[in-house]
Structure 1
Amino acid sequence: MKNALRFIFGLAMVFGGSADAFAAPSAAPAGKERTLPWNAETSDLEPDASIIYGRLPNGLRYAIRPNHRPQNQVLVRMTIDFGSAAEAQDEQGLAHFIEHMAFNGSANVPEGEMVKMLERLGLSFGADTNASTGYTQTQYKLDLPKSDMNLIERALFLMRETAREISFNPAAVDRERGVILAEKSARENFGFQSARAANNLFYPNSFYATRYPIGTTEVIQTASAERMRALYRKYYRPDRIKIIVVGPVDPIVIERELVAKFGDWRVDAPPLGAIDQCSLDTERVLTAQSFVHPEISESIGVQQFLQDKKRPDTLKRAMIELKMSIANAIISRRMARRSREEDMPFLGGGVTFNFGLCDQYATIGYGVAGKDGSWRSLLAFTEQTVRQAVEYGFEESEIAEQVKRLDAQYENAAKDEGTESSAAIANALVSLDEDVYNSDRYRQILWRQIRPFVTKAAITSEFAFWFRQMERPQIFLTTKQSAAVFEDEILAAYAISRGTPIAAPMTRAASSFAYTDFGPAGDVIADKTIADLGIRTIRFANGVLLNLKKTDFEDNRIRYSLRIDGGQLHFGKENAVLASLMSATYVSGGLEAHDIEDLRSILAGTTVSPAFGVADRYFGAASAVAPADLERQLQVMAAYTTHPGYSENALRLFRRPLPELYARLKATPASALAVAMSKIMTDDDPRFALAPLETIQGADFAMLKLALGDALRQNRLEIALVGDLDDDAAIAAVARSFGALPSRADDGKDHNAQLQPGWSAKRGSFDISHNGEANQLAWRRIWTTTGDNDQKTTQAMDLLARVATLRLTDELREKLGTTYGVSANSDMSNLYLKRGAFSVSTAGDPKDIATIETTVDQVISALVKSPVDPDLFERARKPVLESYADWKKQNNTWLGVVAETQTNPDRLNRFRNSESNFTSITAQDLWQLAKQYLDKPAEFTFRALPDEMVSADEKSAQ
């Protein structure tokens, strides 16, 4: 193996490049220097040459990547090497607090104006402007809707304000405390408590266990503005900052702007050290711990840390990680197959392996989740599956399957590279840490060279080397058992499993796909083009409809949609539970000739997915596939319409987690509210409300087959293909699959009788009990409206909801600090045209419920009383207007239109008129709609409260 690696390293030099290859391509603009790609000095892998890297004299680093997908959007990211790991004991939470204060005013932006300024520029707060704080990094992001230099200048100006000029006004700091405490309260449920307990076991005394980014209540409540400013000045400094710009930009212009905004920033203090270091005891004895909570899911996590070394991003490290990822994928497949074939309490799990923890440790382990009370069998099942791989290794067929997957992965990524999204590139650069950003084409070349060395012996040896060292792991159990599970019980169960002999895995024979011949190819009897939209419509002799839209927005990708009339409407009210059953089990039931695991093996090395589900008005699927795999994708979907497998294994897997799922419906306020709300507002209509556990457990495949009848074979069928198309090849592939099937109905079925339901006549306020934390509330107030009968009205109601969200955010979050987030939403059904709702939703502390309700009513009353002011109207409207710049340059947008071109031509007109309709909406229009729909008491108010706050009468009524 050493000789093999030596050969591979030689290849890396052939396909890689020297440092000189990344010198400045031309004279860099004054005030900056071009540099090697980040981390290139420690790597033997070739960096992506399309990214321009540089540094200002003050140490600020930047990366610029011209990109045109989307064609207009520019993404700006700023990261600071600072997070909660750097905080002192009495500073816990201040890194996160500082991030919040970035949006609360700076030296050159008045308090409360930064977000408004961004909204006026066309950015939507939360979606396009955001920030996050982790253990070692704080990130700020701006997604600019267009490549306009004035807009980019403003974005970099605001980044400079954030990096150096936050004002920390004491009054603003005090107001923000409530927002952060609300965020902390919303997050710290039993799941977070469990994570804390696990970190205490796995990472004792490290920042992972002692410095959570959210901080401590005491510090959040008491830290002074001056204390924050001092920490900000210490760590927000240019040599700890990276700026990333991705989009249709001129790098030279961006560099000049970076110099203008950041070049004069000087810091005299000496550089600070790294903050991502920690120390763990790798000689710890075997230890176990449990976390017990009545709402927690049953799970076992087993981990051990091994002393390692700092491993730069080299081919040698990549080879190890590649072999381990193949091994881990095989073990996951073994677990999944066994859980399907045997009646066991397993609900999911797999193996973990990582380098680089605190720069000096490797992590090995495994985790598994299962049914309540099953931890002993879960532990034994997982431990023995992993040990089986250590002792017996892997089969050639298993390796071959994973290699095929990697072949396809690297090949398709290389083909897609020219149209990779700006978001994917920016996010990769943000999370780069100490790695090197490589191009997809280079990774494909490298994969082809190392592929011969990815053998059964190499993978078996690598996996065994690491997991044979798993002698003293730490074991963490979460369980809802009423009595605590003590350490000695867990350790005893682990010892019993370790002492249990294991047999070699069974070898499975490979098979080929059985559904490639559906009869003589169908004839095309109609072929038209909708000229202004560039959509081609085809009709086959058997009634199958095909719509094509060729684009160049994504290389090597076709987005597809299959729609067979029916869906939930086919099952109706009386069989509504079967729609849920079909959605969850139809695909996993496999085909007559292949169970789902065999089918996945057959499809390895392709982009084909076994997809088929149930939507409101149709059966079918929508996803993406490489052009080379289109015909196989069509064959798989056609086989699901003609030869479904209905495997009982799928039914068993569907039913297995249901008792635990239903037992936890009230575990959080949001879940409790959602379940109760759908039940109350629809009079417990099974089409919209969650079915009782016994009803859904009683549903089976015999019932599903009877209810389906011949719908999948006979109902009207429409296929849409959008993207990197060869029209003739696509038409021929459809002709040989769906076009070869028996004739179908020309028209859709009449479901009008089912489309009449409105909302329940039972109106009022409803207190819903939840079993979560005592300081958590979920709240929603709803005004009934109508369905999507008029496009402009629907768009205007959406805009009214955006206006309401801005007003509510100002009042509830920024002024009162009673909630971390609040939103208004308009939902006007395009199916049930008598049904619509305008809602306001938030979360918080039950003690603030009166303030929340009063404030919401005041905001809604103001919207009814008079038109919104021009600035607020424009801030709500501008992000939507700007989104139209790239709206028609995305395949997902077109697929939504092309999917129903022949069966719903009104959708084409809506598409044509969407922008002009939206542009014509005025503040007066919103005022009229507010008076029409909101000038009345809300029909429904839902408050999900801690169980002890809800009366027995309210509980029984639900």
Structure 2
Amino acid sequence: MKKVTTLIAVVALSFISSFSVMAQEDLSKKLLPMDPKVKTGILPNGLKYYIMKNAEPKNRAQLRLMVKAGSILENDEQQGLAHFMEHMNFNGTKNFPKNELVNFLQKSGVRFGADLNAYTGFDETVYMLPVPTDSIEVFKKGMQILEDWAHNATLEASEIDKERGVVLEESRTGKGAQARMRDKFFPIILKNSQYAKRLPIGKDDILKNFKYDVLKQFHQDFYRPNLEAVAVVGDVDVAMVEKMIIEKFSGIQNPINEKPRTKYRIELSGGTDVAIITDPEQPNTIVQIMHKQEKRKDVTYQDRRDGMVRSLFNQMLSARIQELTQKADPPFQFGYAGYGGFLGNLDAFNSVVVAKGGNVEKGLKAILEEVARAKKFGFTASELQRAKTQYMVGQEQAFKEKDKTDSEGLIEGLVGAFLEDENLTSTEFSYEFTKQYLERVKLEEVNALGNLLITDDNRAVILMAPEKDKATLPTEAQIREWLNGTGKDVTAYVDQTVDKPLIAKLPTGSKVIATKQIPEVGLTEFTFANGVKAVLKPTDFKNDEILIGGYSFGGTNLYGDKDADNARVASTVASLGGLGEFSTVNLRKMMTGKVARISPYITGTSENITGSSSPKDFETALQMLYSYFTQPRFDADVVKGFLANQRDNLISQQKTLTPEKVYGDSLNAILSNHAPRNAPMTSERMDKIDANRAFQIYKERFADASDFTFFFVGNFKNEEIKPLLEKYLGALPSTKRKETYKDLGIRSPKGKIEKTVYKGTEPKARVTLVWAGDFDGTTESETQVEALSEVLEIKLTETLREEESGVYGVGVSGSTAKIPAKRYTFRIAFGCAPENVEKLVNRTLAEIQKVKEKGAEQTDIDKFKAETKRQTETQLRDNGFWVNYLQSQYQEGDDVKYILKEEEALKKVTVESTKTAAKKYFADNQIKVILLPEKK
């Protein structure tokens, strides 16, 4: 279900083989403890279970079935069948025949795909099921589903044949340049191991033609209790759940003659492998260097300490590489280096660059030199102290939220613990461990990591580039020469900082002159003497979180076509410069240890602020907010480098037009009726951007805060933060200008529009159908649009996927907007085989016509209502939902109490209302844009 891809450039996980053990204790002998809040057990048949009570969100539980069986265990006839088996567990089990499993869960408010899901990897298959716990019957059914997944798949021949098309369509979605290049370099970097031969998606010819017994054999061999585990985390009675697990899973038998669960390896044979690969649809040049090493576990205290030291190393190296992009002429478009997990039994130190202008030598040497600098000279004491401070802050945040941690995050930790044969330590343990050992980490041991992590053995270099650049690419010999010769002349890094306050002279501000309460939703409105408004909603949803939003009407639409592109990049230009006397680099260093983030941005119709902070650092966040109004900083070199990189990226896109870009640009052009303002950016237009003018536009947009409304949601008390709000919000510049947004009149065309784009070589098609028009703007109509969108997605998933076996997924989105004009849009999109486009479009239109004639089916309406109610229950206890909801309601002039009236609104969604809505919204204005492969 969930598509799984193998990422070559990976973020850091844990490893080092540290050599510095505290003299008074042997940490390698001390095992990391399982979180005591987790109830664990092993049934006589070998099945493991993990149960943990966690109250966030309330009345919810996360359920997982984990199977230590993935594509790596397939024989030659079974390639792709581990993943196919995952699909079949949703298409009929002993207690939920055919599609009844999905049907039951949707009626219970669990969304297919968004909530109910699964994935298959090389070594594992994991099934994910969130369920409500305020209904014991639904929860019991959820546990029954886990048991059925564990061993009760029916694997009916007719259902297998129906699912072939769905899995083939999932396979089709992954085809393209990246897959073609991966197939060429995987055997090289994976040393022709089993991992190189067993991609989870499998082979199309096998998926089309495998015999039923071949799939059944895989299920019989590997869906067995001694390879499985069950995890339950949520608002549950642990004793009750344990009893249910024992009752339901103890009777499952292992096969009499078990097939061995082979553990495959990727061998380390030394040396350096180089793969130079090109593709006609690859738009840019990417180089990756992998230093492969044996995987390290997180089992002992020493493992945990080693991982912490390695994390500090990664953090400091990442900061240095980030600084390279803050130059007038950055050496690459993007760069990364760090140590982390890779695949199977391996970890790797990865260095990745996206070459600028296709200049492989410049980009590769730049990242090699930075890595060599760290390896040769190490890091400075000040860098290490910042890294330690930041690391500790992350642990402190987790500790403060220990009773407000979402169950989904906790259960994913348990999934990892089972699959890696490790323990999930508690938040309390991790926090105390960090307090005990972090400050003992010496600079010398961090600096020694370079020689341990970055070696000349077991290297692999992958160069992926556009086919058109093949003749100018470096040879394998040149790459080897750069690898071995670069970095010899590097000098030590100099850590420069600014030791000043962010604001030289703190403002005095102005008082709150008006207060308004909206008790139904727990809101307080403050109006300050300078005209600024603040909307406050204190919550107890998180212990260490305050979210911030803000808007005023205006935006880029107020500027003519000559300034349109300057206005488009205005907030980016300002953000790149830093604040006051602090460059972006120095601002980041100064903010070490502070949990505060503020970002300005400008849309077509408004100026906006978004951000967050901890309660402790709330004043720092307000200082940043104040500074973005009063002392934005222009950094000519950084902006020059940014614009140059953007231009180079656009040139790459224009030279190698991928099917996705051509299709997306064509669709957007039609939807905006070819309005020049909505045309995609080009390198020629990027050349004409005036950075100084862009910065001036930013200052114009943020010159007056008197029409700004700010929103604060999180853990605070109104009276405690009021003085800070008066000090900073009350001091924001106020010219009291009267300003609103401008409607440029850009609308999608009327009538029926059809366009077919021919691009790409793979046999894959994309279909997008759009209906748009004027909208009455009522909240009741908004609910009807939402309902119609959801019931259509349910129905089209049922027909196009389950009945026609023609798509992997279909997306239906119904949206409304009031600014700059009252409009609605319905968009239906799916991918499919080129030969099936007409059939599937006709089936889609036929389903819409049924709703127009008869209304939606009551069962689908009931599913929509159940899903909406369940979703709202969790949203009402989420800070992120509230800050976005409040800003939207205020901005569009809607009642903030509407969320409390949702149940009343849902009652008005009926078979007849969906019929009326379908007739109204699926009228004559229809746009159809199709992507097909190039004609041969």
User: What TM-score, normalized by structure 2, do the two folds share?
Assistant: 0.92
Q: 1-side partners of 2:376 and 2:384: how far apart?
A: 16
Indicate conservation of the 8 Å contact 2:312/2:391, yes or no.
no
Corresponding residue number in structure 2 for 1:734: 725
Q: Cα 1:470–1:406, aligned 2, differ >3 Å: closer, same or farther?
A: same
Give the CA RMSD over aligned residues. 2.5
Q: Find the partner of 1:240 among 213, 227, 243.
A: 227
Q: Could you give the per-residue CA deviations for residues 577-627 of structure 1, whole angstroms, max 9, x where no partner exists? A: 234313433312212411111101110111122422224533233233110
SS in 2 for 1:221: helix
Q: Could you give the per-residue CA deviations for residues 886-920 of structure 1, whole angstroms, max 9, x where no partner exists? A: 23222122213444777665241433333321232
Greater mean alpha carbon deviation, residues 908-917 or residues 378-387: 908-917
Question: Aligned pair 1:340/2:357, yes or no?
Answer: no
Corresponding residue number in structure 2 for 1:660: 649
Q: Find the partner of 1:410 among 395, 406, 409.
A: 395
Q: Which amino acid aligns with 1:682?
A: S
Indicate conservation of the 8 Å contact 1:779/1:841, yes or no.
yes
SS in 2 for 1:883: helix
Corresponding residue number in structure 2 for 1:351: 337
Q: 1-side partners of 2:531 and 2:689: how far apart?
A: 33
Greater mean alpha carbon deviation, residues 243-252 or residues 871-880: 871-880
SS in 2 for 1:201: helix
Corresponding residue number in structure 1 for 2:747: 758
Indicate conservation of the 8 Å contact 1:547/1:719, yes or no.
yes
Q: Find the partner of 2:51 among 64, 70, 85.
A: 64
Corresponding residue number in structure 2 for 1:422: 407
Corresponding residue number in structure 2 for 1:691: 681
Q: Could you give the per-residue CA deviations for residues 409-459 of structure 1, whole angstroms, max 9, x where no partner exists? A: 111111111101111111221222233212222212111111222222121
Q: Cα 1:362–1:546, aligned 2, differ >3 Å: closer, same or farther?
A: closer
Q: 1-side partners of 2:596 and 2:312: how far apart?
A: 20
CA shift, 1:383, in A, is 1.3
Q: Which amino acid aligns with 2:319?
A: R
Question: Aligned pair 1:829/2:829, yes or no?
Answer: no
Q: 1-side partners of 2:434 and 2:798: how far apart?
A: 52
Q: Find the partner of 2:38 among 51, 59, 78.
A: 51
Q: 1-side partners of 2:653 and 2:932: how far apart?
A: 15
Q: Could you give the per-residue CA deviations for residues 9-52 of structure 1, whole angstroms, max 9, x where no partner exists? A: 57x9xxxxxxxxxxxxxxxxxxxxxxxxxxxxx96223321121
Q: Cα 1:301–1:875, aligned 2, differ >3 Å: closer, same or farther?
A: same
Question: Aligned pair 1:805/2:793, yes or no?
Answer: yes
Q: Cα 1:336–1:48, aligned 2, differ >3 Å: closer, same or farther?
A: same
Corresponding residue number in structure 1 for 2:716: 725
Corresponding residue number in structure 2 for 1:321: 307
Corresponding residue number in structure 2 for 1:39: none
Q: Which amino acid aligns with 1:892?
A: G
1:709-720 aligned within 5 A:
710-715=700-705, 716-720=707-711
Indicate conservation of the 8 Å contact 2:773/2:925, yes or no.
no
Q: 2-side partners of 1:803 and 1:214: how far apart?
A: 30
Indicate conservation of the 8 Å contact 1:757/1:835, yes or no.
no
CA shift, 1:127, in A, is 0.8
Q: 1-side partners of 2:266 and 2:888: how far apart?
A: 59
Q: 1-side partners of 2:889 and 2:94: how far apart?
A: 54
CA shift, 1:234, in A, is 0.9
Q: 2-side partners of 1:100 and 1:303: how far apart?
A: 34
CA shift, 1:541, in A, is 1.3
Q: 1-side partners of 2:416 and 2:924: how far apart?
A: 48
CA shift, 1:405, in A, is 0.6
Corresponding residue number in structure 2 for 1:22: none
Indicate conservation of the 8 Å contact 2:671/2:747, yes or no.
no
Q: Find the partner of 2:377 among 389, 392, 396.
A: 392
Any gaps of 5 or more consecutive residues in structure 2? 1-17
Q: Could you give the per-residue CA deviations for residues 372-421 of structure 1, whole angstroms, max 9, x where no partner exists? A: 42111122111121111111111112111111111211111111111011
Q: 2-side partners of 1:901 and 1:802: how far apart?
A: 22
Corresponding residue number in structure 1 for 2:592: 604
Question: Aligned pair 1:889/2:889, yes or no?
Answer: no
Q: 2-side partners of 1:638 and 1:390: how far apart?
A: 41
Corresponding residue number in structure 1 for 2:162: 175
Q: 1-side partners of 2:133 and 2:604: how far apart?
A: 36
Corresponding residue number in structure 1 for 2:607: 619
CA shift, 1:367, in A, is 1.7
Question: Aligned pair 1:131/2:121, yes or no?
Answer: no
Corresponding residue number in structure 2 for 1:556: 544
Q: Cα 1:309–1:574, aligned 2, differ >3 Å: closer, same or farther?
A: closer
Indicate conservation of the 8 Å contact 1:825/1:839, yes or no.
yes
SS in 2 for 1:554: coil
Q: Which amino acid aligns with 2:130?
A: D
Corresponding residue number in structure 2 for 1:36: none
Q: 1-side partners of 2:172 and 2:779: how far apart?
A: 40
Corresponding residue number in structure 1 for 2:87: 100
Q: Which amino acid aligns with 2:639?
A: A
Q: 2-side partners of 1:356 and 1:55: how far apart?
A: 30
CA shift, 1:73, in A, is 2.1
Indicate conservation of the 8 Å contact 1:560/1:895, yes or no.
yes
Question: Aligned pair 1:265/2:252, yes or no?
Answer: yes
Q: Could you give the per-residue CA deviations for residues 319-356 of structure 1, whole angstroms, max 9, x where no partner exists? A: 22222222222222222212322413412222232468
Q: 2-side partners of 1:916 and 1:764: how far apart?
A: 38
Greater mean alpha carbon deviation, residues 387-396 or residues 576-585: 576-585
Q: Find the partner of 1:459 among 429, 435, 446.
A: 446
Q: 2-side partners of 1:481 and 1:869: how far apart?
A: 51
Q: Cα 1:813–1:302, aligned 2, differ >3 Å: closer, same or farther?
A: same
1:400-549 aligned within 5 A:
400-432=385-417, 433-467=420-454, 469-471=455-457, 473-482=459-468, 483=470, 485=473, 487-495=475-483, 497-498=485-486, 500-515=488-503, 517-549=505-537
Indicate conservation of the 8 Å contact 1:47/1:438, yes or no.
yes
CA shift, 1:766, in A, is 0.8
SS in 2 for 1:785: strand
1:863-878 aligned within 5 A:
863-878=851-866
Q: Cα 1:573–1:140, aligned 2, differ >3 Å: closer, same or farther?
A: farther
Q: 2-side partners of 1:66 and 1:788: how far apart?
A: 47
Q: 2-side partners of 1:451 and 1:8: how far apart?
A: 16
Q: Find the partner of 2:237 among 225, 250, 273.
A: 250
Q: Which amino acid aligns with 2:384?
A: I
Q: Find the partner of 2:104 among 113, 117, 126.
A: 117
Q: 2-side partners of 1:762 and 1:594: how far apart?
A: 54
Q: Cα 1:381–1:63, aligned 2, differ >3 Å: closer, same or farther?
A: same
Indicate conservation of the 8 Å contact 2:670/2:748, yes or no.
no
Q: Which amino acid aligns with 1:718?
A: T
Q: 1-side partners of 2:808 and 2:794: how far apart?
A: 13
Indicate conservation of the 8 Å contact 1:521/1:740, yes or no.
yes
Q: 2-side partners of 1:923 and 1:610: how far apart?
A: 46
CA shift, 1:514, in A, is 2.6
Q: Cα 1:910–1:830, aligned 2, differ >3 Å: closer, same or farther?
A: farther
Indicate conservation of the 8 Å contact 2:331/2:366, yes or no.
no
CA shift, 1:767, in A, is 1.4
Indicate conservation of the 8 Å contact 2:498/2:582, yes or no.
no
Q: Could you give the per-residue CA deviations for residues 744-796 of structure 1, whole angstroms, max 9, x where no partner exists? A: 53x86233x516543224741011233x3431211111122333601111111
Question: Aligned pair 1:331/2:317, yes or no?
Answer: yes
SS in 1 for 2:50: strand
CA shift, 1:216, in A, is 0.7
SS in 2 for 1:768: strand
Indicate conservation of the 8 Å contact 1:776/1:845, yes or no.
yes
Corresponding residue number in structure 1 for 2:663: 673
Greater mean alpha carbon deviation, residues 341-350 or residues 773-782: 341-350
Q: 2-side partners of 1:93 and 1:584: how far apart?
A: 45
Corresponding residue number in structure 1 for 2:768: 780
Q: 2-side partners of 1:426 and 1:293: how far apart?
A: 40
